[in-house]
Amino acid sequence: MIVEIGHFALVLAFAAALAQTIMPFWGARLGDIGLMNVGRNAALMQLALIAVAFAALVNAHLTSDFSVLNVAENSNVAMPAIYKISGVWGNHEGSMLLWVLILAIFGALVALFGRELPVKLRADALAVQGLISLAFLAFILLTSNPFERLAPAPFEGRDLNPILQDPGLAIHPPLLYLGYVGFSIVYSFAAAALIEGRIDAAWARFVRPFTLVAWSFLTLGIAAGSFWAYYTLGWGGFWFWDPVENASLMPWLAGTAFVHSVAVMEKRDALKVWTIFLAILAFSFSLLGTFLVRSGVLTSVHAFANDPRRGVFILAILVMFICGSFALFAWRAPMLKQGGLFAPVSREGALVVNNLLLTTACVTVLFGTLYPLALEQLTGEKITVGAPFFNLTCGVLLLTACFAAPFGFSLAWKRGDLLGVVQRLAFAIIIGAVTAIVGAAWLSGAPLFAPLAMGLAIFVIIGTLIEVFTRAWRPGLSAGVALKRTLGLPLSFFGGALAHLGLGVTLLGLSGLGFGAETVATLHKGVPALVGPYSVTLDSVGEQLGPNYKESVASVTVRSGDSVVAQLEPARRQFASRQMTTTQAGLATLDFGQVYVAIADPAPDGSVPARLYWKPLVTLIWLGAAAMAFGGVLSLTDRRLRFGVAVRAKANARPLAQPAE
Amino acid sequence: MTWLRNPFSLGEKVAGETRRMREPRQSHGRASRANPHPNPSPVGEGKKGKLLLVLALLATLAGPALAVQPDEVMKDPALETRARTLSSELRCLVCQNESIDDSEAPLARDIRVLIRERIGKGESNDSVRAYLVSRYGDFILLKPPFKPETLLLWLSPVLVLSLGLGAALFAYRRAPSITPRLSADEEARLAALTGHDVSGPH
């Protein structure tokens, strides 16, 4: 019964989305305030209904209701409760439901906090948001119904794929979707601005918090996914340029460009048309990512052709929203009034460079991801575009962007003094160059990426700190005044600084890879195997029973010289329900590096084949990403950007004004 | 296998699985073994029967556990480094975007062993690579070769960047100058006021 209520709520949500699409739009054309305000209520109603549907599905999974097909295929009684819940979005239907839930959350946020917006803009934005919901709800209801019943109900479910039985599943997809889908708001506002043919700094001010929220979540989501891959795949890789990863990287690159250009628009009223273009682009890439992952086209073109229903549906949604918005853009953008002028050497100019590089990287990823598919369709020839291609092309583009970052951060608005900035950054440049040279000498003969990236990382970190310092302190100022000046700086400045620092830290983590070590060896009891500065010794091998798996566990000791630094228990887990085996790597964090031990199935004689890694600085990759995301959040809490500031300011102003009358 | 195990590919479809088993070019009769794990994904509609068959087949085949196995490693560290470099540039033919160096698939292992045999016999990396390309086509190279068919791919970053630069330049040229130049008359007045020659560009 609860399941049917969920299904019904989803149908009602479709109706609410329909109302949200048509009525505010119509109202905006007629200038009817009442009709425009329907959009807000419809958005809230839609969220409530989708929440009911989602709760119903969660309930079915939690109670192991195997009469629901989705539960029977992706759940199991023996599974721990947390995986029963995260299993809700560990499959196609459930993840699409999460997708529309988050879409509705963002729509409701606009409805709730958009009070100071121009009524018409809000109505149009909500209508566009409603249209997106409408399309995806139709997709779920028509092709991917999570509430489909199964009769007779099986006695036991098929179990969730063991790879997904990991806390990573509880964290990664929701974060990623909050990012992906968050860009829909930006898209809706861009479309609304185009419909109105008017756009200004106020638009940017309202859109920016949503952008920052989406971008921060996307950053965290990608980082969480990469860390999950890192510890679960058994060989310590964390980024594979896999099409599915590329699908999440493209919106991130476009979104990062957008975060920068919207700052220009807000501060200087410049780059309007370009910002709108990026807003459309960012969400288009989100949609493209959804299509790539959900249609099966990536696994192979043939898989897509075998079962084209879902793929074609999403493709239709994709084409409708991308083509529709770009057509609107082509028609309306020339009408937008250009604002703020600037010299090429200025912060605006630097942000244009940033945008050019990021967008080019984004398009390169797009080409690399889709080229093999297109070539096979056109000529029948099969090629592979893998990591070496992306490392080369995107590597060059993104490292250049990193190099430009401290310069852009230090340049003044409108017209900058490049020579002055270079002088200020001289210290950072020198330290960075020395690091790179020393690193290259240390690694003599190895590829130059690692030392180069390390030098660059040091340059970015020190360069950013110099700018913070310069803002706070001038020669002759006392420490107290400097502190006061520091505290007086806007939070968005610290947000930006933290994000750039995070970028430097991530880059430093990446550069550490070149200084690592790897050993492939069969571990025998008591015989140490060397990896980098550490040695790993096998102590014992045992068997353990988990709630729904059996595992072979190797106990190993990591030593530095003679002193023990860590005890690890890498394992192989066998899941009977799906006849699958997963690798549980043993990880020891030593400073910022990690010793990584992954084992294969133990041999009968008690020896264990293993891969051992020493990965210096590796944790910095994710710490840096967390810093970037936190920078975004910090920027968000800036007073200027807080939701409803204008309303509260007005409310506070009133009592003061009265006595004067 | 990355495509299976990568967290980013949650819930991919099973259709690829069934196809791979049927497709002769990739499989050489062992693709089914190449994947020790059944697909994580929801059942494609109408495919349940086929899926069960696949699962049953897969269930009977035990998979290996690690990518490069200790017994594969060559004695000479220099040659082993060469073998590792080469195998990180080659695609595991039955996985998605995974190098044979990282893959657990038996076919990947076979190619790793083959590479080491050939390198052991004194062949250069280029000649081993050429041999593998002659056998499997460009598909095996993770880095696509530079040839007419891939021209657009390789040039895309340059093209897009120059297009963007061109557009930026065009927009900048078209925008009115940030500070209008002073007229000759104004310049003369300014020079008179400041006592300097200020006719230089801004």
Q: What is the DSSP letter of A551?
A: E
Closest CA to A620 of A597, A589, A596, A598: A589
Q: What is the DSSP letter of A490?
A: -
- B181 or A313: which leads in pLDDT: A313
> Quick count: other Cβ atoms within 10 Å of Cβ A311?
21
Amino acid at B123: E
Q: Is A150 on the interface with B (CB under 8 A)?
A: no
Query: Are A341 and B152 an interchain contact pair (Cβ–Cβ within 8 Å)?
Result: no
Residue A425: partners with Cβ closer than 8 Å, 6 or more residues away: A406, A407, A410, A459, A463, A466
Query: Are A342 and B55 an interchain contact pair (Cβ–Cβ within 8 Å)?
Result: no
In this prediction, residue A639 carries a pLDDT of: 63
In this prediction, residue B100 carries a pLDDT of: 86
Closest-CA distance of chain B to residue A368, Å:
7
Q: Give the pLDDT means over successive 10-residue stretches in chain A (661 positions).
A: 93 96 93 90 96 96 92 88 90 92 94 86 93 95 91 84 84 91 93 87 85 94 91 80 88 94 84 89 91 73 61 89 91 78 83 92 93 87 88 92 91 83 89 90 80 93 91 80 83 91 95 87 89 90 87 91 90 83 87 90 86 91 95 81 48 42 32
Q: What is the ipTM of this complex?
A: 0.81
| Sign (positive or negative) of CA dihedral A10, A16, A22, A24 | negative
Cα angle B8-A545-B37, degrees, rounded to a multiple of 5: 35
In this prediction, residue A299 carries a pLDDT of: 61
In this prediction, residue A327 carries a pLDDT of: 92
Q: What tokens appear for A199 in the block?
A: 């756009």
Closest CA to A50 of A8, A21, A89: A8
Q: Which residues of B touch A521 (CB under 8 A)?
A: 70
Residue A491: partners with Cβ closer than 8 Å, 6 or more residues away: A634, A635, A637, A638, A639
**Segment 563-592 of chain A within 8 Å of chain B by CB:** 572, 578-581, 583
Question: Residue B180 — pLDDT band, cuts 50, 70, 90?
Answer: low
Q: Is the separation of the CB atoms in A234 and A247 below 8 Å?
A: no
Residue A496: partners with Cβ closer than 8 Å, 6 or more residues away: A263, A409, A631, A635
Q: Is B172 on the interface with A (CB under 8 A)?
A: yes
Query: Are A600 and B64 an interchain contact pair (Cβ–Cβ within 8 Å)?
Result: yes
Q: Where do the H-state alpha helices sit in A2-118?
A: 2-30, 33-62, 69-74, 81-86, 92-113
Query: Are A173 and B10 an interchain contact pair (Cβ–Cβ within 8 Å)?
Result: yes
Question: Could you read off the pLDDT of B137-147 as tens digits, one per residue?
Answer: 888 888 888 88
Give the integer Cα–Cα distance in Å for A522 and A556: 13
Percent of chain B at pLDDT exceeding 90: 10
Q: How distant, in Å, are the alpha carbons of A233, A243, B101 from that of A227?
A: 10, 17, 20
Query: Are B140 and A384 an interchain contact pair (Cβ–Cβ within 8 Å)?
Result: yes
| Sign (positive or negative) of CA dihedral B164, B170, B174, B175 | positive
In this prediction, residue B52 carries a pLDDT of: 38
pTM of the model: 0.85
In this prediction, residue A192 carries a pLDDT of: 93
**Segment 11-50 of chain B within 8 Å of chain A by CB:** 11-13, 15-16, 18-20, 23, 36-47
Q: Is the separation of the CB atoms in A43 and A110 below 8 Å?
A: yes
Look at the block and give the residue holding tokens 């023996």. Answer: A78
Closest-CA distance of chain B to residue A562, Å:
25
Give the integer Cα–Cα distance in Å for A536 and A519: 10
Which among A225, A368, A397 has CB closest to B8? Answer: A225
CB pairs < 8 Å spanning A and B: 238
